[in-house]
Amino acid sequence: MPGDRPEQKPEKPLENKPEVKPAASQPPTKPAVKPSDVIVNEKVEVVQKEEKPVADKISIGELHLSGCTGCLVTLADNYEGLFKLLDDYADLVYALTLVDVRHVPAMDVCLVEGSCCLDDKLSVEELKEARAKSKVLVAYGACAAYGNITRFCRGGQWNQPGQEAFVPISEVVDVDLYLPSCPPCPQAVRNVAVMAYLLLRGNDEQKSLATAYLTPLMQLAQRGDTACGCDLMYDVINQGLCMGCGTCAGTCPVRAITMEYGRPNVNRDLCIKCGACYAQCPRSWFNFDVMNNYEGIMDAIRGAMQ
């Protein structure tokens, strides 16, 4: 918390500062310091002390089901942030076109992109295998979370004309966490990857911050694709969290939400309880718990990415 932050002492010597030696034929080596050993509030020192914890990385895979591949592009859109992630925190062990591995391996975090086509036995089996081999399974993007545009597919697609049953992945396997949006923004992917690392490998303070950040996304997954317009009313709009962005109205497949005076109005008679508005609303997961810990969360992410 801002008020609890200890006074910084810039002149304090670094604990793991490498011993200074006169110039010699061998360059001095830095001691290895993992991010999990670093205290968040001393992030200025983190930048100077951090060494790549290669042996301590988590493994991440991306399972591609029925979607447009936009989520995979978003993952790559992290640019230099992606290199930092892959250098220090995560090994990408499975991903369409990016990793030459044909069978689903064991992994810490599996990002599942796209909905699951029940007519495609291979997709169903791959999804179940990924669930069995992952510690954390993430519905990565709107199609995986609640079906999104693929729910409108009723067969007759150009390359797969016989496929007509596309469902959110939560209808086939248990999902630990939603990372919604179409596609999720690169920063959100980066933040979730860093927070997953800190949750699995961090110190107690980092685990606490990671829990605060990830819990609303886990709660989204628990609601699955069953949240309705009323949940949006009670959890977001009535709580004063709505910022009037209109995402819920734009995403509702039956036009049950209209924007009136800058705020959404839900027609409950039209609502089919698909969960789209709730999953897509940025304030359904960026709630008071996250806001109350926001400074510490961002310090942890920035400290890790520097």
Interaction site with ligand SF4 (CB under 6 A)? 228-229, 232, 236-237, 242-248, 251-252, 254, 256-257, 264, 266, 271-277, 281, 283
CB of 152 to ligand SF4, least distance (A): 13
Residue recorded with tokens 């496929």: 163
Question: With respect to ligand SF4, which residue has the nearer C-beta, 165 or 271?
Answer: 271
CB of 240 to ligand SF4, least distance (A): 10
Question: With respect to ligand SF4, which residue has the nearer C-beta, 158 or 261?
Answer: 261
Cβ(146)–Cβ(182) under 8 Å?
no
CB atoms under 10 Å from CB of 121, counted, come to 9
Cβ(134)–Cβ(174) under 8 Å?
no
Question: With respect to ligand SF4, which residue has the nearer C-beta, 162 or 244?
Answer: 244
CB of 250 to ligand SF4, least distance (A): 8
- 121: number of CA atoms within 13 Å, CB side? 0
CB of 68 to ligand SF4, least distance (A): 20
Distance CA 207, CA 197 (A): 9
At residue 76, the 3 state secondary structure works out as helix
CB of 219 to ligand SF4, least distance (A): 16
Distance CA 157, CA 159 (A): 6
Distance CA 298, CA 287 (A): 15
